Every structure is written in C-alpha cells, then in structure tokens.
Structure 1
Amino acid sequence: MREPRRNSSNISPSSLKVMLFLSSRENEVSIESPSMKNGFFTTCLQRGLRGGADVNRDRIITAKELFEFVSQGVKKLSRDKQHPVMWGKFSDSMPVMIW
C-alpha cells in the first residue's frame, strides 16, 4: 500500500475542486426522522448516491444531479422547511460518483 503524498506544493490552489454539501441553510434545523433512522438530508443523499440522482442514466452522478436530487427530496420530506446548500469551487458537471 502506498503512503499518501505529504507534499502538496505541486498543487496550485486554482486547480483544487472543493464542494461543500450542507444539509440546511444556516437559519434552519436539519430534521431527523426516527422511522428513517437518519435525517432527511442523509436519507436523500444515500438514495442519490445509490443511483437515484443519475437522471440521464450515464452512470455518472454530477454535482448538479446530486444537488437537485437531494434538494428536491429534502424539500418534499420537510414540507419545504429544510433547504440543502451546495457551496464551493467546482463545475456543475464535476463527477461526484462514477460506477
């Protein structure tokens, strides 16, 4: 097994892709569901990463596909009381998962 690279001096900040996917807006509560054994956000995120977010069925889940899938699911489950947020430096077409 290879050791992780410790020196990142060859990586420029402009080449980094960072995506933060947050469960709710700062003034909202992230709702938990005892029957789902998770929060609405986690439940929808899991469903999305299991293929639900791959709307065009190309076996690539992009940042945009995942965000739209999770956002719609969370808004529906929470009756529009919780709104996930995506923030960072990335492209909508950035692959989040390929299988």
Structure 2
Amino acid sequence: MRKSIILVLPVALCGFVTVAQAQTPSQPATQAKISMMQARRIALKTFPGRIVSGELEQEAGGSGLRYSFDIKAGKNTHEVGVDAKTGKVLENSLDNNDAD
C-alpha cells in the first residue's frame, strides 16, 4: 500500500507543474476587455492622485483578472483594483506599507 502512494505523489506533482507552466505571462493581457489606460482613468476617478505603480494580475474577486494601481495623494497611498474585463472598481483601500 505504501509503495502505491509514493508512486502516485510524483505523478500528481508533475500534473501541477504542467498546469502552472501552461499559463504564459502574456495570456492575462489577451483576456482583458479594457486597456491599461482605461483602467488608469477609472482608478484616478476613484482616488485622485499620482499613480506610482500599476500591474495586471490574476486575483480572486470579480472576473479574476484585475489591474491594480498604487495611487499616492499627499502622505497616503491607496490601492485601487479595477476588473480588467468589466471596468468595475473592486478595491479602494488605504495602503501605506511603503513607509518613507
């Protein structure tokens, strides 16, 4: 019984590696229905300021694909998440983790 478990584990792990490699970095961009520029405009309407970083990422919530922006205004930095397929604002939260 123990030998069969040991043989199954490497096979199962190989399956996970294959799934992880199937997703290429350019794939999320092709799935987005709105552009980065459109998402930037939505984010800045939600929290006006200066965008200091932005990325397209796969994350739980909404369609599962979102643009995430860090927007600085004064001493505060907000993280604003915009659904890349619908344009809906998924997150608007204070994110002062970048202590100066």
Q: Provide TM-score, normalisation by structure 2.
A: 0.26
Higher helix share: 2
Larger radius of gyration: 2
